[in-house]
Structure 1
Amino acid sequence: MIVRPGIHGDGRGAPRDGLPVRRRGRPRRGGSGGRALDALHERRFAVSSSDASTVDGSAAPLRALILQHEEPTPPGLVTEWLDGHGASIETLRIDIEDREVDPAGYDLIVSLGSEFAAFDDTKPFVPREATLMRRAVEADVSVLGLCFGGQMLARVLGAEVHRSPDSEIGWLPVRSTDPEMVPEGPWFQWHFDTFALPPGATLMAETDVGPQAFVMGRSLGLQFHPEVTTDIMTEWVREYRHELDADGVDPDALLEETKRRAVDSRRTSLRLLEWFLRDVARLRPGRSRAALG
């Protein structure tokens, strides 16, 4: 884990390697009057045969739309995971492609990370994505939000997204309400913003800085990066070295740690993604070619 005092005017915190672990606690829900998700625990891995989409080879493949916000932030492990299920994948560079998209034409929308803020509507793609994601939620299309994408999902569900008083950069543990659903990591993080828990959402994981995972309906918002690979980290260290230097993070040490964790982090990420597909999105996984062991 690497968390350093920084200079971005938001008071970086001290390292938090000793985060207390809360195991098997009852998930906390945001606000009041929202839809309860106790069935999430009761249902676990049960999937109804009436689910809208299957990816078991006997029906049309899962249709996935990936929202990418800049060249250095590709879907990484998410693509491998979807390919392993034989999914039909379309990638939209929403930062440079201004075209109409009907979210109802997809089973799953994945929103990746971004160097920009999910609350900064001066960037034209940000309000466009907010509108698209809101329409997806209203159409009961599953959304998987990663870092910026998780913040955007929180925003369209009515939560405040704002600059964080503390950044999180590095491999960090999270406090999970149920590690069988959201493993405690450590997970890779690189963010300067955070969000409140949306009204009616179920908190699945958090750190002292804020929520790390939440479920709302058939959607999952994450603050961390399960998609990260060594290749992605190599590019991020090269492209955003100035952010690491400003935050007091050793880029070479960060890359080496990522290489050391590559096998375990891949296994943990695929486990999380499988849980999401099965229990949250409620899309039948079928026989996966992804190596989860």
Structure 2
Amino acid sequence: MAVVASKVLFLVNEHLATPALLGDAFAEQGFDIHTFEVVPAERIDRPAGNVDFPDPMGYDVIVPLGATWPVYDPALIDTWVTTEMQLVRDAADAGIALLGVCFGGQLLAQAFGGTVARGPHPEIGWYDIPTDRPDVVPGGPWFQWHFDRWTLPPGATEIARTPNASQAFVLGRALALQFHPEVDADLLKVWLAADHTGDVAAAGLDHGELLDRTTELAGDTGERIRKLLRGFLTHVAGHSRPS
């Protein structure tokens, strides 16, 4: 009998926020990789609008990725963000594992009863993130680029944090991450080219230094993301599905 590969669906909420290293790590674990673009490039300046999402029931894991807009933007709440929140709730009810990244992690928090709002300080660049569960979120530098932060949904367990923001929580078979494990130098170059509002400079950082640091950490980052994915699949997604 042929073995059917597990399937992961990446929800590319903004065309610039691609799976990158996270897609590579899932592929190394034998997953068939599927992507769905929520807001395509031609709608970057008008992201609100209704979206016909794919049926989540054909997948083993769903990964909502990042975006530059606030997850609580009223125009997005009135359109596709509410639809995507219902999608992840339906997926959770069906026992499908969820892994949210930055905006995607905030979307999970908001979907399951937490809140999301502007944080006291943006976090941009490489941060050491204290973790209670190194078997799920390994220690070491992780890349950040965000302005908002969540409050935990009811029943969630925070497992990593910085002084400014919660960085990871587990809720059932869902793991939300505030940081960006997927970032490599190629993806960061795309983001820096789109940094028209000067977020990096406002944070006291230099594009070249940020890229150099990303390149310097590349080998360690690849191994950390493999550990993170193995931890997610074993200790979060590996929990029994509800009956």
Which TM-score tier does this pair reach, normalised by the shorter chain?
0.7 to 0.9
CA distance in 1, matches of 2:108, 2:205: 29
Unaligned regions of 5+ residues in structure 2, if any? 41-49
What is residue 218 of structure 2 aligned with on the other side? 262
Deviation of residue 100 (structure 1)? 4.1
What is residue 170 of structure 2 aligned with on the other side? 215
Q: Are 1:73 and 2:28 counterparts?
A: no
What is residue 44 of structure 1 aligned with on the other side? none
- Report the structure number with the largest CA radius of gyration: 1
Change (3 A) 1:237 1:79: same
Q: What secondary structure does 2:89 align onto?
A: helix
What aligned pairs does 1:97-176 form with structure 2 within 5 A after superposition? 98-123=51-76, 124-176=79-131
Question: Which amino acid is 1:167 matched to?
Answer: P
**8 A Cα contact 2:15 2:39, kept in partner:** no
Deviation of residue 58 (structure 1)? 5.6
Deviation of residue 184 (structure 1)? 2.0
RMSD over equivalenced CA pairs, Å: 1.9
Counterpart among 114, 125, 138 of residue 183 in structure 1: 138
More helix by share: 2
Q: Are 1:84 and 2:28 counterparts?
A: yes
Q: What secondary structure does 1:101 align onto?
A: coil
CA distance in 1, matches of 2:164, 2:95: 30
More strand by share: 2
What is residue 272 of structure 1 aligned with on the other side? 228
Change (3 A) 1:184 1:99: same
What is residue 45 of structure 2 aligned with on the other side? none
Question: Which amino acid is 2:74 matched to?
Answer: D
What is residue 244 of structure 1 aligned with on the other side? 200
What is residue 46 of structure 2 aligned with on the other side? none
Question: Which amino acid is 2:218 matched to?
Answer: A
Question: Which amino acid is 1:116 matched to?
Answer: W
Deviation of residue 69 (structure 1)? 1.7
Deviation of residue 185 (structure 1)? 1.8
Number of residue equivalences: 228
**Cα deviation code 1:20-75 (max 9, x no counterpart):** xxxxxxxxxxxxxxxxxxxxxxxxxxxxxxxxxxxxx9621111111002222110
**Cα deviation code 1:65-100 (max 9, x no counterpart):** 110022221100111112112322221111248224
**8 A Cα contact 1:103 1:139, kept in partner:** no
Q: What secondary structure does 2:126 align onto?
A: strand
TM-score, length of structure 2 as denominator length: 0.88
What aligned pairs does 1:194-205 form with structure 2 within 5 A after superposition? 194-205=149-160
**Cα deviation code 1:263-292 (max 9, x no counterpart):** 111111111111101221018xxxxxxxxx
Unaligned regions of 5+ residues in structure 1, if any? 1-56, 284-293
**8 A Cα contact 1:95 1:125, kept in partner:** no
Question: Which amino acid is 2:68 matched to?
Answer: E
Q: RCO higher in 1 or 2 (8 Å CA, sep ≥ 6)? A: 1
**Cα deviation code 1:106-165 (max 9, x no counterpart):** 110011110011111312332221121121122221100000111001111100111111
Query: Percent identity between the aligned chains?
Result: 40
